[in-house]
């Protein structure tokens, strides 16, 4: 069975990929890059937090912002858009596995 720590690590990898895509996307806006950078910062922090519920909630909020930013950014490439949406989905999956 996959642990929450493993799910968060998988999400962090996808978020890092999304950040790399945004950094190399000449059409991505500075706003999108800043929001995805914050998403990556939250992911790095989330992996090390003992309180996994708080980690997932904070990561979900950052992911929602990144999703909204990439959907609003008309200059972002399809590769960047897909990477951000995939990263967001990985957080949603992790959240769905939180024990209540």
Q: Distance between CA 91 and CA 28 in Å, rounded?
A: 22
- pLDDT per residue over 81-92, tens digit each? 999 999 999 999
Lowest mean pLDDT across 3-12, 43-52, 66-75 = 43-52
Domain that holds residue 32: 4-96
Q: Distance between CA 81 and CA 18 in Å, rounded?
A: 8
Global confidence as pTM: 0.92
pLDDT band at 58 (very low <50, low <70, confident <90, very high): very high
Q: Distance between CA 70 and CA 7 in Å, rounded?
A: 23
How many domains, the chain? Answer: 1
């Amino acid at each position: 069975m996959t642990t929450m720590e493993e799910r968060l690590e998988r999400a962090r990898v996808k978020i890092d990929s999304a950040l790399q895509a945004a950094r190399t996307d000449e059409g991505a806006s500075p706003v999108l890059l800043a929001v995805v950078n914050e998403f990556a910062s939250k992911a790095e922090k989330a992996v090390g937090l003992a309180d996994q519920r708080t980690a997932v909630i904070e990561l979900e909020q950052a992911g929602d912002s990144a999703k909204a930013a990439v959907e609003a950014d008309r200059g972002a490439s399809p590769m960047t858009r897909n990477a951000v949406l995939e990263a967001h989905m990985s957080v949603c999956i992790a959240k769905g596995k939180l024990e209540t």
